[in-house]
């Protein structure tokens, strides 16, 4: 019983902090900023605020008969992809939800907060604690999506407004490195997947053995300076470097450089601080799997598999070996997003969380600067379609030892 109480207290604090952080992310934005949706694959900020609240209502409160006046309409508007729950607003049309107004969504969030806290204070059973923990981690995922989505939405404004002003103090830049600096790993029979302790999503399970040939990983992430070399050496004009689907997407969308880059008298990049001169020493970001794969081929190397990345991350000394494994940019791998041997999706609607997406996507490892710190763990599996570029995605190179 003491363990349940202790876990309940920890999750109560995490719930409060997580809900407050999401609101803090919205504070720099106007209601118009929070409503726009510039493409089908992004969502308005207001939708994120409502959806993360709906998640707690749907999976924690509704089973106990707790609902609100707006519950049925919000169940349609703010369900994301849970087919077993019912019909919902199409993803491409989330920007049309001008009503409820932002103030109403904030009131809804607060009502959900108070109802959840009341339940926690009354005492939760083990299943309810599990749902609460999933809900907290779910909202933390949406905090990162909130930032990547608002960046894409604001990038469509010809004035290139900043989400937040750049800090006044000088930011220490990363030292430029060559990706020729390689750390080697022996390979062999290795374990990957989440271990017994601590939270994980279902797609990180179960822990299992893989066999790896000896391999090497670049000590550093690929930098913007190296990507400029790739561009100026004709990387975006050389079909032999590209997978067929990647070359097709390049031609369809006229890719010439990473998303948010411009070439004027110098290279510029749009980010959360607005349009600024490209930091050549920083890791490249906002690239697709297709671009990462083409760059690796141009460099005479390849992308690591997710097993190679995880084993290296488990055994590497971050002070002297692999750098920027976490909190910099997500790192594309060569691995398709599929189930681990023995994977079992949860029962009910929660089972739609990850398993149904195990098709046609590629795994990214590590984390970005926008990722909540608790998600920067060695077994975390992020995944996106190979053409997608709006996330903070970069790469680290691999080679045979």
**Cβ-contact 222, 283 below 8 angstroms:** yes
Asked if 224 and 368 sit in the same domain, the reply is yes
Asked if 220 and 269 sit in the same domain, the reply is yes
Asked if 196 and 318 sit in the same domain, the reply is yes
Tokens of 202: 């279902």
Distance of CA 37 to the CA centre of its chain: 18
Asked if the structure places residue 163 within a domain, the reply is no
Asked if the structure places residue 190 within a domain, the reply is yes
Structurally, the chain folds into a number of domains equal to: 2
Domain at 211, CATH number: 3.90.1580.10
Query: For the chain, what is the total number of helices (H) and then of strands (E)?
Result: 10, 12
The strand pairing partners of 223, in sequence order, are: 283
**Cβ-contact 297, 304 below 8 angstroms:** no
Asked if the structure places residue 160 within a domain, the reply is no
Asked if the structure places residue 173 within a domain, the reply is no
Asked if 19 and 72 sit in the same domain, the reply is yes
**Cβ-contact 370, 328 below 8 angstroms:** no
Closest to 58 (Cα-Cα) out of 349, 259, 258, 390? 349
Asked if 199 and 288 sit in the same domain, the reply is yes
Asked if 203 and 103 sit in the same domain, the reply is no
**Cβ-contact 263, 257 below 8 angstroms:** yes
Asked if 80 and 188 sit in the same domain, the reply is no
State which residues of the chain have pLDDT below 70: 1, 169-179
Asked if the structure places residue 367 within a domain, the reply is yes
Q: Of 155, 174, 206, which one is at a domain's C-terminal end?
A: 155
Find the domain containing 45 and state its range. 2-155
Asked if the structure places residue 161 within a domain, the reply is no
| Residues 145-158 pLDDT 10s | 999 999 999 999 99
Asked if 281 and 339 sit in the same domain, the reply is yes
**Cβ-contact 160, 270 below 8 angstroms:** yes
DSSP string for 80-146: -S-TTT-----GGGGGG---S-HHHHHHHHHHHHHHHHHHHHH---HHHHHHHHHHHHHHHHHHHHH
- Reported as half-sphere exposure (CB side, CA atoms, 13 A), residue 178 has a value of 4
Q: What per-residue confidence (pLDDT) applies to 195? A: 87
Asked if the structure places residue 167 within a domain, the reply is no
Asked if 198 and 295 sit in the same domain, the reply is yes
Asked if 220 and 136 sit in the same domain, the reply is no
Q: What per-residue confidence (pLDDT) applies to 168? A: 72
Q: What per-residue confidence (pLDDT) applies to 172? A: 45
Closest to 80 (Cα-Cα) out of 338, 371, 353? 353
**High-pLDDT (> 90) share of the chain, %:** 89
Give the pTM.
Answer: 0.95
Q: What per-residue confidence (pLDDT) applies to 1? A: 55
Asked if 129 and 246 sit in the same domain, the reply is no
Domain at 140, CATH number: 1.20.120
**Cβ-contact 128, 119 below 8 angstroms:** yes
**Cβ-contact 333, 364 below 8 angstroms:** yes
Asked if the structure places residue 123 within a domain, the reply is yes
Asked if 329 and 391 sit in the same domain, the reply is yes
Q: What per-residue confidence (pLDDT) applies to 3? A: 73
């Amino acid at each position: 019983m003491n363990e349940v109480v202790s876990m309940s207290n920890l999750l109560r604090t995490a719930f409060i902090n997580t809900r407050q952080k999401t609101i803090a992310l919205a504070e720099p934005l106007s209601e118009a900023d929070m409503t726009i949706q510039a493409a089908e694959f992004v969502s308005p900020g207001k939708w994120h605020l409502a959806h993360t609240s709906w998640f707690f209502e749907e999976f924690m409160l509704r089973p106990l008969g707790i609902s609100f006046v707006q519950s049925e309409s919000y169940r349609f508007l703010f369900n994301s992809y849970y087919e077993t729950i019912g019909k919902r607003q199409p993803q491409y049309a989330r920007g049309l939800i001008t009503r409820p107004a932002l103030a109403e969504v904030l009131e809804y969030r607060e009502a959900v907060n108070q109802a959840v806290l009341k339940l926690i204070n009354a005492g939760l059973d083990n299943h309810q604690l599990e749902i609460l923990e999933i809900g907290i981690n779910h909202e933390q995922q949406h905090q990162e999506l909130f930032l990547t989505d608002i960046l894409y939405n604001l990038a469509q404004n010809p004035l290139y407004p900043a989400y937040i002003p750049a800090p006044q103090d000088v930011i220490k830049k990363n030292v430029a490195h060559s990706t020729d600096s390689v750390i080697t790993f022996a390979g062999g029979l290795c374990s990957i997947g989440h271990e017994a302790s601590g939270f994980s999503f279902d797609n990180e399970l179960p822990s299992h053995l893989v066999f790896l040939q000896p391999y090497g990983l670049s000590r550093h992430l690929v930098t913007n300076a190296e990507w400029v070399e790739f561009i100026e050496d004709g990387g975006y004009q050389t079909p032999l470097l590209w997978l067929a689907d990647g070359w097709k997407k390049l031609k369809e969308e006229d890719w010439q450089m990473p998303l948010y880059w411009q070439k004027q008298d110098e290279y510029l990049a749009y980010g959360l601080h607005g349009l600024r001169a490209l930091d050549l020493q920083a890791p490249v970001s906002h690239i697709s799997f297709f671009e990462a794969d083409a760059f690796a081929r141009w460099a005479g190397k390849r992308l690591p598999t997710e097993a190679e990345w995880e084993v290296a991350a488990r055994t590497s000394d971050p002070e002297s070996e692999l750098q920027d494994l976490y909190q910099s940019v997500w790192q594309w791998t060569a691995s398709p997003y599929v189930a681990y041997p023995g994977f079992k999706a949860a029962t009910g609607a929660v089972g739609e969380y990850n398993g149904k997406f195990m098709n046609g996507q590629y795994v990214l490892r590590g984390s970005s600067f926008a990722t909540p710190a608790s998600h920067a763990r060695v077994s975390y599996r992020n995944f996106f379609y190979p053409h997608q570029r709006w996330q903070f995605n970069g790469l680290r190179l691999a080679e045979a030892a």
